[in-house]
Amino acid sequence: MKFDYDAFGKAMNSNKNNDIDVINSGKNYGWFYKDDDDSSEFNQVMEYRIKDGDHNYRTWHQESSMITHDAGMLVSVKIDHIRGENIDDHIVLLTGFDFNGKLFYGQAFVQMKEEDPFHTEIITSGDIIDTVHDQIQDKIKDNYGVNGSTEGRKQIPHIVRLNMKAMCDGVKK
What digits encode the pLDDT tens for the residues 36-76? 888 888 889 999 998 877 899 999 999 999 998 889 999 99
Read off the pLDDT of each residue in 127-156 and give the average, rounded to a whole number.
Answer: 90
Overall size of the chain counted in residues: 173
Residue 111 burial (CB count, 10 A):
14
Helix H or strand E encompassing 157 = helix 156-170
Read off the pLDDT of each residue in 4-23 and give the average, rounded to a whole number.
Answer: 88
Question: CA-CA distance, 96 to 87, in Å (whole number)?
Answer: 30
In the chain, which ranges are E strands? Answer: 2-3, 20-22, 31-33, 44-50, 56-60, 63-67, 72-82, 89-98, 103-111, 118-119, 171-172
Read off the pLDDT of each residue in 77-99 and give the average, rounded to a whole number.
Answer: 93
**Predicted local distance difference test score (pLDDT) of residue 157:** 97
Is the pLDDT at 16 greater than 80? The verdict is no
